[in-house]
Amino acid sequence: MNLSPLQKIIKVGIVGTGYAAKKRAEALQADPRAEILQVAGNTPEKVAKFCQTFSVTEVNSWQELVSQPELDLIVICTINRDHGAIARSAIENNKHVVIEYPLSLDPQEAAAIITLAQAKNKLIHVEHIELIGGIHQTLRQYLPEIGNIFYARYTTIAPKYPPARRWNYHKQMWGFPLSAALSRVHRLTDILGNVATVSCQSRYWDAPEAEYFNACLCNAQLRFVNGAIAEISYGKGDVFWHGYRHLEIYGDQGTISFMGEKGSLIKGEETITLPVKSRRGLFVQDTSMVLDYLTEGQPLYVKPQASLYALQVADAARRSADSNQVVQV
Ligand code: NAP
Ligand code: BLA
C-alpha cells in the first residue's frame, strides 16, 4: 500500500523476543505503514541479538517501553503472567495495543483493560490466529452442511520429553492451561456461542523446581446455551508419548472431522476430503489487518469481547477444577 504524504507511519514498540515477537517483527518490517523503533525483552543477550537482526533500539524494561512518547503501538509477545499489567500500562500511556492471547489470565482485569481502551479510544487487539487459520476457515465454510450441532470434541496432546524448564511449564507464568491455550475454548465459542455450565478436571505433574511442572492434563465439558455439549482435552509434557490433534463436530445431518490438518465431511455413506490451507503466514495476516484498521478503519476479524468471553469460560473451567463442582458461566 502507498501511504499518502499526510499519513503518518505507525511507530511500534515490541515486548518480547521469542517466536511470536520474531513473526511480528518480520511482518511489521515488511510493511511500509509501520516502523519498529524499540524492543524490550528478558535475557539481555537475546534482546541484543533481536535488536541487531531488526536494526532497532533496545530499552531496559517494558515499563520504559510503554512510556516512550514517540510510540503509537505496543505489541505484547511475552509471558502470559505479565500480559494484563503491560496492556493496561500501555493504554494508560495512550498507546494502541496488539497482544498475543490471552489478554490477561484474570478475566476481570481483561474486562477492565477493554473498558479503559474504549474510554481512551485506543485499539486493543487480542490476536486469535486460530480463527483465520485453515482449519477454522474450512470448518466455518462447511458447517451449514451438517445441520444442528449437538456435540463437539477437541483434543490437543503435545508430548515433551525431556521436560521443559521454560515459562510455559510454570504455573504462574503460563497460567491455567485452558486460559493459556485459549484457542481451544475460543474455536468452540466462536461456532457454538454462549456457554451455560462448565465441568472440568485438571492435573499437574510437578517438577522438582518450585512452581514448574513436567506435564499437565485438563479435561473440560461445556454445556452450551443452545444445548450442544463439547469436550476439550488438553495435555502437554513428559507423560505423553503420542502427539494428537483432533477436532470433531457432530451435527444431525453430518460430522466434520479434522485429524491434524486433514479434514473430512461425513454424511451418510459418503466421506469427502475437505481442503485445509496451511498454518503459515498467519501472523503476517493478523499484522496486516491491524494496520488496515489503524490506517483505514477497516474492521478486524475478532473483537476483544469475544476473547474476553472465551477467557471467562476458561476461568470457569479453572474454578470447576479447583472446587470439583459444575460452574455456571
Ligand atoms: P517464546 O518463544 O517462548 O517467547 C517468550 C518470550 O517471553 C521471550 O521473549 C522470553 O524471553 C520472554 N520470557 C520468558 N521468561 C520470562 C520471564 N520470566 N520474565 C519475562 N519475560 C520472559 O513464546 P511465544 O510463542 O513467542 O509466546 C509469546 C506469547 O504469544 C504467549 O503469550 C503465547 O501464548 C502467545 N501466542 C503465541 C503463539 C505462537 O504461535 N507462538 C500463538 C498465539 C499466541 P527469553 O527468551 O529471553 O527468556
Ligand atoms: C499457538 N503456539 C501457539 C501458542 C504457543 C505456541 C505458546 C499459544 C498457546 C497455545 O494455544 O498452545 C508455540 N507452536 C509453538 C511452538 C511451536 C509451535 C514453540 O508449533 C514449535 C514448532 N506456531 C509455531 C509454528 C506454527 C505455529 C512453527 O510456532 C505453524 C507454522 C502456529 N501456533 C500456531 C497457531 C496457533 C499457535 C496457528 C494458534 C492456536 C491454534 O491454532 O489453535
8 Å CB contact between 146 and 251: yes
Closest C-alpha to ligand 2, atom 4: 181
For 260-273, what is each residue's pLDDT tens digit? 999 999 998 999 99
CATH of the domain at 160: 3.30.360.10
Where b means 16+ CB within 10 Å and e means fewer, 68-107 reads beebbbbbbbbbbbbbbebbbbbbebebbbbbbbbbbbbb
pLDDT band at 298 (very low <50, low <70, confident <90, very high): very high
Instruction: Determine, yes or no, domain membership for 63.
Output: yes
Residues 16, 158 share a domain: no
Q: What is the pLDDT of residue 5?
A: 54
Q: What is the pLDDT of residue 233?
A: 98
Residues 258, 166 share a domain: yes
Residues 270, 221 share a domain: yes
* Residues having CB within 6 Å of any atom of ligand 2: 19, 129-130, 133, 168, 180-181, 183, 279-280, 282
Residues 194, 262 share a domain: yes
Surface-to-core class of residue 270, CB atoms within 10 Å of its CB (0-12 exposed, 13-18 middle, 19+ buried): exposed
Residues 252, 256, 259, 260, CA torsion sign: negative
- The residue-averaged pLDDT of 235-258 equals 98
- CA of 42 from ligand 1 middle (Å) equals 10
Q: What is the pLDDT of residue 278?
A: 87
For 83-120, what is each residue's pLDDT tens digit? 999 999 999 999 999 999 999 999 999 999 999 999 99
> Ligand 2 pocket test: which of 139, 183, 244 has the largest number of ligand atoms within 8 Å of its C-beta?
183
Instruction: Determine, yes or no, domain membership for 189.
Output: yes
**Number of compact structural domains in the chain:** 2
Residue 6 has pLDDT above 80, yes or no: no
Q: What is the pLDDT of residue 235?
A: 98
- The residue-averaged pLDDT of 273-291 equals 95
Instruction: Determine, yes or no, domain membership for 1.
Output: no
For 300-316, what is each residue's pLDDT tens digit? 999 999 999 999 999 99
pLDDT band at 286 (very low <50, low <70, confident <90, very high): very high
Q: Which atom of ligand 2 lies closest to the CA of 136?
A: 42
Looking at 95, 110, 127, which one is the last position of a domain?
127
Q: What is the pLDDT of residue 87?
A: 98
- CA of 20 from ligand 2 middle (Å) equals 9
| Cβ-based neighbours of 16, under 8 Å, separated by 6 or more | 41, 42, 76, 77, 78
* Residues having CB within 6 Å of any atom of ligand 1: 16-21, 41-43, 46, 77-80, 100-101, 129, 167, 173
- CA of 76 from ligand 2 middle (Å) equals 16
User: In angstroms, what CA-CA distances link 285 with 97, 133, 141, 193, 295?
Assistant: 17, 10, 19, 25, 15
Looking at 109, 127, 145, which one is the last position of a domain?
127
Q: Which atom of ligand 1 lies closest to the CA of 21?
A: 26
- The residue-averaged pLDDT of 190-202 equals 98
Residues 153, 118 share a domain: no
Q: Which domain holds residue 186?
A: 132-278+312-328
pLDDT-above-90 percentage for the chain: 96
> Ligand 2 pocket test: which of 17, 19, 79, 233 has the largest number of ligand atoms within 8 Å of its C-beta?
19
Ligand nearest to the CA of 19: 1
Q: What is the pLDDT of residue 1?
A: 47
Half-sphere exposure of 219 (CA within 13 A, CB side): 4
> Which ranges in the chain belong to alpha helices (H)?
19-29, 44-54, 62-66, 83-92, 107-119, 129-132, 134-142, 171-174, 177-180, 183-192, 282-296, 304-323
Q: What is the pLDDT of residue 59?
A: 97
CATH of the domain at 111: 3.40.50.720
Q: Which atom of ligand 1 lies closest to the CA of 16?
A: 9
Looking at 86, 112, 127, which one is the last position of a domain?
127
